């Protein structure tokens, strides 16, 4: 099922570093439980942020936390939820702004 395509704007990897990323997931990702999958995965990884559907059929994610946990979430987004079909994940790394709490579905 999920694909592994995607564009990543790289940032240096410093152990224990806290960062934020913004991701847009393309494919068959709406109406299949993908947002709930993303939220549960992020909470298990102790990340904060949000996930939402966009009008163009993609899913958007903003997440903050340790680089290692964000890398794992990025991998999970590429693998996708079993009922989804991910064709591409575009990730943009950012410095953490600290403005996020919990992990919500918007």
Which positions are catalytic?
A: 35, 53
Which residues on adjacent β-strands are paired with residue 24? 60, 90
Q: What would the two tokens of residue 97 be?
A: 């702004």
The stretches of 1-106 forming alpha helices (DSSP H) are 34-44, 67-79
Which residues on adjacent β-strands are paired with residue 91? 8, 23
């Amino acid at each position: 099922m999920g694909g592994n395509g995607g564009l990543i704007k790289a940032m240096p990897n410093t152990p224990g570093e806290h960062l934020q990323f913004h991701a847009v997931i393309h494919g068959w990702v709406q109406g299949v439980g993908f947002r709930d999958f993303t939220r549960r995965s992020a909470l298990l990884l102790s990340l904060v942020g949000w996930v939402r559907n966009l009008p163009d059929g993609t899913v958007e994610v903003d997440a903050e936390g340790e680089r290692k946990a964000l890398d794992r979430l990025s991998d999970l987004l590429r693998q996708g939820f079993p009922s989804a079909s991910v064709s591409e994940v575009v990730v943009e790394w950012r410095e953490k702004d600290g403005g996020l709490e919990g992990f919500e579905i918007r």
